[in-house]
Amino acid sequence: MELSVGIMSVVTDMGRNVEDEPEPTWDEAVAALKAATPVEVVRSPREVTVVYRYTDGIFTATSPDVRGFRTTGRSLHETRSLVQQDLSQFLDPAVKVLERFPVPDREIRTSAAGCGWLKAASLPGMIVLSSSGTARTFVSSARASLRRVRAS
Amino acid sequence: MPERHLPNSRKRRHAAACRAPCWTINRYSPVVKKVDVAVLIVDESIEAKIRDKHFPLTAEDVRQAVVYGRVISAGWDDNDEHGLRLVVRATTYAGVEFIAYLMPANEGDPEEGTFVLKTAIPKPST
């Protein structure tokens, strides 16, 4: 008997629809927050990733952690400052921003070079046109020199 | 660890307090003054409810704002029906202000940092 009662209660619970539950209004929620015991929100170390891309002469920054975040600029410096400006208004000061820049391929195929293979290490600070002509790869001089050192 | 020298009556009370779920203690005096919302678990049904009833708010926006964003205010709400809940007021990246109700995933340890989203109500636009 007890077992059957137990089963019935489980079945009844499973049938409860979340959407049928009454939702508090905004005013009720504000009143609940005022009546609640205040608590300080602290942050353990965490970071938000920002990914930079370079396409058609424009730098674009997006983040997989912040939906809807997208910032563009004509230079990397400009884009980075816009990203910092934008995210500082939303993010908690304790959250760090981890920036990821495009890593150039070691060998880049270009139409200009007759489909030949160019070494990225020999292209410091250059923008290489891809075979389609729309996408470009920005090769930072610092990274290229680092590759040169590693290669030697 | 050295054994505590307590009278038998105090030992019994101490053992009973250890066995009792912490949330029953918290229900009457929420002792956690600092909280870290590190992980927010969102059930599919809650996600659908927020999407359908509280447009333009989404559960993902709420998760991002609560975990990464600036929290305006927060407090422990001790409700007879729903139990101990964390009420958080924050703003999404898109600028929608909301109040979210979170429940500690581990009732015995609200400081653990894992919460379950129960609902979120956007501020009505005037």
pLDDT digits (tens, 9 = 90+) for A74-111: 999 999 999 999 999 999 999 999 999 877 655 555 55
Least Cα distance to A39 among B78, B43, B13, B69 occurs for B78
Least Cα distance to A21 among B104, B65, B79 occurs for B79
Chain-centre distance for alpha carbon A12? 42
Residue A25 main-chain phi, psi, to 5 deg: -80, 175
Q: Does pLDDT of A62 surpass 90?
A: yes
**Which of A44, A92, A93 comes nearest B38 by C-beta?**
A44
Is B68 within 8 Å of chain A by CB? yes
Q: Kindly report, residue by residue over A10-46, the tens digit of the pLDDT.
A: 444 444 555 566 788 999 999 999 999 898 888 888 9
Is B45 within 8 Å of chain A by CB? yes
Least Cα distance to A74 among A99, A104, A54, A102 occurs for A54
Is B53 within 8 Å of chain A by CB? yes
Residue A89 three-state SS? helix
Is A30 within 8 Å of chain B by CB? yes
- Compute the distance between CA of residue A151 and CA of residue A25 in angstroms, rounded to an integer: 64
| pLDDT at residue A123, rounded to an integer | 39
- Compute the distance between CA of residue A53 and CA of residue A99 in angstroms, rounded to an integer: 11
Q: Using CA atoms in the order A81, A82, A84, A86, what is the torsion angle rounded to 10 degrees?
A: 160
pTM: 0.66
| pLDDT at residue A92, rounded to an integer | 92
**What element of type H or E holds A41?**
strand A40-41
- Compute the distance between CA of residue B98 and CA of residue A29 in angstroms, rounded to an integer: 9
ipTM for the whole predicted complex goes beyond 0.85: no
Contact A62, A79 (CB under 8 A): no
Is A70 within 8 Å of chain B by CB? no
Helices of type H across chain B? 8-19, 22-28, 44-53, 59-68
Single-letter amino acid code for the residue at A130 = S
Is A98 within 8 Å of chain B by CB? no
Q: Does pLDDT of B122 surpass 80?
A: yes
Helices of type H across chain A? 2-14, 26-35, 76-90, 141-151
Whether B124 sits inside 8 A of A26 (CB atoms) is yes
Whether B88 sits inside 8 A of A41 (CB atoms) is yes
Lowest mean pLDDT among A4-13, A34-43, B44-53, B117-126: A4-13
> B77: which chain A residues are within 8 Å (Cβ-Cβ)?
32-33, 35-36
Q: How confident is the model at residue B105 (pLDDT cuts 50, 70, 90)?
A: confident
- Compute the distance between CA of residue B23 and CA of residue B37 in angstroms, rounded to an integer: 18
Q: How confident is the model at residue B28 (pLDDT cuts 50, 70, 90)?
A: very low
| pLDDT at residue A102, rounded to an integer | 77
> Which of B93, B103, B119 is the best substitution to test chain A (most A C-beta atoms within 10 A)?
B93
Contact B101, B40 (CB under 8 A): no
Residue B66 three-state SS? helix
